[in-house]
Amino acid sequence: MGLVVVRLDCNGGKVDTVADPDNFLHRLLPPMDEDSDNLLAKVDWYGDTYFNYRQMKRFISEWDRLAQRAQSLHEGEMITRVRALAVRCHIDRGLLRFIGD
């Protein structure tokens, strides 16, 4: 099982979800590197990682670079859906939660 990405409202309620059952993100996301200032490198594969609406501009920029590495239609669709969650998170001042295995 791969990561699950959830958009939460400002009260922590679940609004939308994108699952990665084929574990595409494991190949696409950068390795967990604490020395890096890359937000996407902070995603915890085995725990939960939260990004708030104030981080979304940078998150979306990094996500767009990640999207260029998609190799299949399914990867591209999942990346597009997660990006849409991030955009809504930014607009609605919510949270984006990555849930690890």
Name the residue ranges covered by the structural domains of the chain: 4-15+41-99
* Token pair in block for residue 67: 């999207």
pTM over 0.85: yes
Give the CA distances from residue 74 to residues 13, 47, 80, 81, 94, in Å, rounded to whole numbers and listed in that order: 27, 24, 10, 11, 26
- pLDDT tens digits for range 36-48: 889 999 999 999 9
Residue 97 pLDDT class (50, 70, 90 cuts): very high
d(CA 22, CA 35): 28
Q: What is the C-alpha separation between 88 and 93, in angstroms, rounded? A: 8
